[in-house]
Amino acid sequence: MSNGEKVWSLGEGQAPEDLDKPVDTPPLSSLLIERPQGGSITVGGDISFVAKVEAQDLLRKPTIKWFKGKWMDLASKTGKHLQLKETFDRRTKIHTFEMHIIKAKDNYAGNYRCEVTYKDKFDSCSFDLEVKGFVDIRSAFKRRAWPQPSHPPLVSCPREPKQDETPEVDVWEILKSARPDQYEKIAFEYGITDLRGLLKRLKKTKKEEKKSEAFAKKLDPAYQVDKGGKIRLVVDLADPTVELKWYKNGQEIRPTPKFIFEQKGTQRIMVINNCGLNDDAAYSVAAGEEKCTTELFVKELPVKITKEIEAVKTTVNERIELACEVSEEGAQVKWCKNGVEVPTGPRSRYRVKSEGLKHWLIIDDASKEDTGTFTLMASGGTSEAKVQVELKPLKIIQDLQDMTVLLGQPLKMHCEIFPGNVPGRWYRNGQLIQSNDRINILQRAKNHRLEIVNSTIHDAGDYTFVPEGYSQSLCAKVHIVDPPRVHLESLNFPDNTVTIVAGNKLRVEIPISGEPAPRVVWMKGERVILDSGHRVRAETFSDHTSLTIDIAEKEDTGNYKIVLQNEAGEAGASIKVKVVDIPDPPEVPLVTEVGGDWCSMTWEPPIYDGGSPILGYFIERKKKQSSRWMRLNFDLNKETTFEPKKMIEGVPYEVRVFAVNAIGVSKPSEPSKAFVPLAVTSEPTMLVVDDVTDTTVTMKWRPPDTIGAAGLDGYLVEYCIEGSKKHSIDIVTNKELTEKTKYTITGLPPEAKILVRVRAINAAGASTPRTLQHSILVKEVIEPPKIRIPRHLRQTYTRKVGEAVNLVIPFMGKPRPKVSWLKEGQTVDPTQVTIRNTDCDSIIFIRKAERKHSGKYDMKVEVENHVDTAIVDIQIVDLPGPPQCVKIDEVWGGNVALDWTPPKDNGNAAITGYTIQKADKKTMEWYTCIEHYHRTCITITELVVGNEYYFRIYSENMVGLSEGATQTKDSALIVKEGMQLKNPEYIDHDFKEPPKFTQPLINTFAIAGYNATLNCSVRANPRPKVIWMKNKIAIIDDPRYRMFSNQGVCTLEIRKPSPYDGGMYSCKAINYLGDALVECKLEVKGQFGL
């Protein structure tokens, strides 16, 4: 083949160091029902390989891959010489996968593999393709179809026959100078199919050969010899005196009749006689510390068929022996049936035996499934023969008998046929009978039995037994007889009583049974109910009978009798119909007692309960002026008394009652007589002691929670001395009610203990008194002083000069505390600071603040021996002074460096910054250069060349800028200097970048039959090559897919997808800077959500 011709078998390269890594494959499972078979064609011929997968239990299409060798995926090699096709037969549910090779070339020969995967299932099948034609010396690296040698030869033995006179190509030199990704292309171009072995040798030959000091000529890299032949390994020593040792696979070789060592001058020769497969190994020779190695390949001669297999025709259960002879003892052969290898494991029906040149395939108990074509495959040829297994003639020993069986009794059918080991199927009315808990299908030798434990009506019919594989059948009829029965137990009516509400429609359906269908009669007393009745009628159907009452009335209550008759007997039953209604209204309710927001009422039950017990009562109320009734209970009241609550005082009310039974709610009773709730207020709340002196006690409280419609007139305060039996009758208010919720009791004896209580008074009377739980000691209470500094005074209080200062500091303590103030440990001058004290606070007031008012003011509060102190820090701030000295440090170009010292007076506040201004000497107009500058040195830039400048600086603190500024004594003259223009160097921007997906693929759900699209966007420069893949397999020239790419937006359109198009889709963008990959999952659902 010419170097420029392209072939479909080329693929990506694989590094030699990766060849020895094991290839992981999932466990095999039986998916293939028809496997591709090996074949042989001549150069330029066409051949097809077919694989079939049954999809009966598969939810989606399985994935199939075709490989050449161990690794080359042929999906990307389709074209002029290779085509892959897929078809699906909806009738047989079988997927058919085909691989067509068109105009085969000699390098297409080799081992192929078909792999099928579905979820966690995996199946694989290998087959061989032999392309007959001219073979050159490069066939040394071609593997034979079967079996394969462990290593290909590199160098031919000198005894090989002379090759044809064809132009020689040094493949080794081509491989040494080629890149690793070109190895496969070169291998297929020159017909080398064992690429793994080739690259192993290449890896060793690429090592740099150092000039040997011990060997004048080393061993060749590899040798080849036929099995049973003789080979000579020769090395030439540079030093004949050096000690020489030979090794095989690292083990030293000793002289034996098989290994003979010879010397001829400086040559050392090892002769290997009668080469076998175990001599295929790596050999090395060591001369001192140097060593050279080689590999010996033993070529096994093909095994040929010397005696063909003979065709066999027999019947089932017979023994079959297929015999064949080959040309070599101990040869490995493979038995196949219809192109599929025969399993020969311990549990297999097939046994394989060999003796010398003969090989047997033995089937002890032949069956009809053994019919087919059996093939013996050897490395040098095949032999096949047809085996035909037929059934033995059928003989009926005992036929099926017609039967009549009582319903519910066992049904047993029996027949006998010959031969005895023939299975069969049972049918009832043409439908296949399956074994279950009720039906047992038994076979013992020639006896076949069908047993039904409890026969039913559906078991009647025509029964047929059909022996498997025969056209004859055995038939019989079965009749089922059943006496009539009424199945009242299925109605779940208590005591067979049906209850119906008056006015409703009643329909009672009662299951009946009997074979043949019984005659049904309904009766109430002595009156027969006909099916032609208008309001009451009876109807009969095949499996039930019904009684219908369109509008139930009280007169329909009673017993109804059912009578069934047929040829097998008579049966009867009865049911009771009870018609119920809502009860009558209760009697008029009577209000027996009235409270502030409640009342107590009672009533009598209704005279007629509607035929059902009274379950309870509902109570309603309304204002007399209103027409809207409000229900008071949502849970039934089972008693005839009730206490309505939450009524408004002073408003007249009425109440009424409803009776409730299982049927419903009665009409309301007549309303009661009107009544008005009215009550005193509740007791006052939260009674506490507010203040205590030596003669008075001040109490305070909160109004009652409930005042009521009568309102609140006032409060009555009472007290008594602790220890007395009752409260004093003297009212503190001089017999007048107090409307306030605070009162002071005066004229109390000092150090006496009193108890106090308060009542609320209204038109209904006095409420329950609120009593203080503990006694009160009439004595002044000492409360330690405590100063409550406001939050804004807990840090330094700052004010500007001239502003007013007014501070209020609250404090606590009893009796009235004594307050004193100090400033920095000295008494406060009252002419400068005004201080005013009250019972609860102290005030510092400065009308016009000055800086001398700044300082720490100490406040001291005393109550007898208890003291509390606090410090108030006041800071009066003013404008700062100007900086002390401003000078020009340096002038260069258009820049001036200034330096100054902070002001002497900071205005009693930290300097926060400086403001720098400049002025041209000609105009002396000042312009601000920078404000709020914190440092004491600065460089002023961008000054006009030729001008002379003065500078001044203001100080700044929290109050503001200083009133004056400090100006430089000297001016700064900006002198013009020579300038050199430097052209900037521009560097072109590099727009190149590797591919990067800016918008990834997203998981998509599609509807079968409607086009679906997958979109993503990629950015790259130069423009990348975009490859779409499904399940990591590139999509190439598939008419079901359309691929678009516009302005970096990549789109894959799937035309009318089916559920088999679901899977993982990926988009890969590649340029010479790198690649990028995004993936998504596509699920295709049926059009109707199936």
Q: What is the pLDDT of residue 137?
A: 35
Q: What is the pLDDT of residue 732?
A: 57
What spatial distance separates the first Cα and last Cα of the chain, rounded to whole Å?
Answer: 54
Are both 769 and 697 inside the same structural domain?
yes
942, 973, 1004: which is the final residue of a domain? Answer: 973
Are both 386 and 409 inside the same structural domain?
no
Q: Parallel, antiparallel, or unpaired: how do β-strands 350-355 and 926-933 relate?
A: unpaired
Are both 165 and 255 inside the same structural domain?
no
Ramachandran category for residue 1047: left, alpha or beta (phi over 0 → left; psi -120 to 50 → alpha): left
| Cα 528 to Cα 508, 521, 553, 578, 883, distances in angstroms | 17, 7, 18, 19, 130
Q: Give the least confident one: 338-342, 530-534, 1078-1082.
A: 530-534
- Confirm whether 677 is domain-assigned: no
Are both 365 and 380 inside the same structural domain?
yes
Are both 310 and 265 inside the same structural domain?
no
Ramachandran category for residue 905: left, alpha or beta (phi over 0 → left; psi -120 to 50 → alpha): beta
- Confirm whether 236 is domain-assigned: yes
**What average pLDDT does range 791-800 have in this prediction?**
91
CB 902 within 8 A of CB 914: no
Is the peptide bond prior to 423 cis by the omega test (within 30 degrees of 0)?
A: no
Q: What is the pLDDT of residue 1087?
A: 66
Under the banding of pLDDT at 50, 70 and 90, the label for residue 1006 is very high
Residue numbers of the domain that contains 927: 886-973
Under the banding of pLDDT at 50, 70 and 90, the label for residue 196 is low
Tally of domains within the chain:
10
Nearest by Cα to 878 from 790, 813, 801, 930? 801
Digit-coded pLDDT (tens) for 415-458: 998 887 788 989 999 889 998 988 999 988 889 999 998 888 88
How far is residue 521's CA from residue 512's CA, in Å, rounded to a whole number? Answer: 12
Digit-coded pLDDT (tens) for 969-999: 999 998 877 655 667 788 888 889 999 999 9
Task: Using alpha carbons only, give the angle 968, 969, 974 rounded to the nearest 5 degrees.
Answer: 70
CB 513 within 8 A of CB 519: no
- Confirm whether 204 is domain-assigned: no
Is the peptide bond prior to 419 cis by the omega test (within 30 degrees of 0)?
A: yes
Q: What is the pLDDT of residue 161?
A: 39
For residue 258 the two structure tokens come to 């098989």
Digit-coded pLDDT (tens) for 548-585: 989 888 788 889 999 988 877 788 889 888 888 888 89
How far is residue 805's CA from residue 793's CA, in Å, rounded to a whole number? Answer: 12
Lay out the sheet containing 886-892: strands in order across.
886-892, 895-900, 937-940
**What average pLDDT does range 943-956 have in this prediction?**
93
Residue 1068 has pLDDT above 80, yes or no: yes
Are both 166 and 28 inside the same structural domain?
yes
274, 299, 324: which is the final residue of a domain? Answer: 299
Residue 620's CATH number: 2.60.40.10
- Confirm whether 841 is domain-assigned: yes
Are both 34 and 172 inside the same structural domain?
yes
Are both 561 and 600 inside the same structural domain?
no
Residue 150 has pLDDT above 50, yes or no: no
- Confirm whether 1011 is domain-assigned: yes
Mean pLDDT of the chain: 84
Residue 949 has pLDDT above 90, yes or no: yes
Task: Give the sign of the dihedral formed by CA 687, CA 692, CA 694, CA 697.
Answer: negative
Are both 501 and 549 inside the same structural domain?
yes
- Confirm whether 1060 is domain-assigned: yes
Digit-coded pLDDT (tens) for 1041-1062: 999 999 899 999 999 999 889 9
**What average pLDDT does range 393-416 have in this prediction?**
87
777, 809, 841: which is the final residue of a domain? Answer: 777
Are both 965 and 1009 inside the same structural domain?
no
How far is residue 285's CA from residue 290's CA, in Å, rounded to a whole number? Answer: 8
Q: What is the pLDDT of residue 133?
A: 67
- Does the pTM of the predicted model rise above 0.75? no
Under the banding of pLDDT at 50, 70 and 90, the label for residue 191 is low
Percent of the chain with pLDDT over 70: 89
Q: What is the pLDDT of residue 169?
A: 60
Residue 790 has pLDDT above 50, yes or no: yes
Nearest by Cα to 548 from 514, 485, 500, 484? 500
Rounded to 10 degrees, what is the CA torsion of 359, 362, 368, 371?
0
Beta bridge partners of 729: none
Residue 144 has pLDDT above 70, yes or no: no
- Confirm whether 253 is domain-assigned: yes
Ramachandran category for residue 241: left, alpha or beta (phi over 0 → left; psi -120 to 50 → alpha): alpha
Of the CA atoms within 13 Å of residue 318, those in its CB half-sphere come to 16
Residue 139 has pLDDT above 60, yes or no: no
How far is residue 970's CA from residue 972's CA, in Å, rounded to a whole number? Answer: 7
Digit-coded pLDDT (tens) for 834-868: 999 998 999 999 999 999 999 999 999 998 889 99
- Confirm whether 330 is domain-assigned: yes
Under the banding of pLDDT at 50, 70 and 90, the label for residue 187 is confident
Other Cβ atoms less than 10 A from the Cβ of 644: the count is 20
Q: What is the pLDDT of residue 146?
A: 39
Are both 491 and 345 inside the same structural domain?
no
**What average pLDDT does range 80-97 have in this prediction?**
87
Q: What is the pLDDT of residue 606?
A: 92
Residue 141 has pLDDT above 50, yes or no: no
Residue 136 has pLDDT above 80, yes or no: no
Residue 172 has pLDDT above 70, yes or no: no
**What average pLDDT does range 67-85 have in this prediction?**
83
Under the banding of pLDDT at 50, 70 and 90, the label for residue 348 is confident
Are both 625 and 722 inside the same structural domain?
no
Other Cβ atoms less than 10 A from the Cβ of 931: the count is 13
Under the banding of pLDDT at 50, 70 and 90, the label for residue 695 is confident
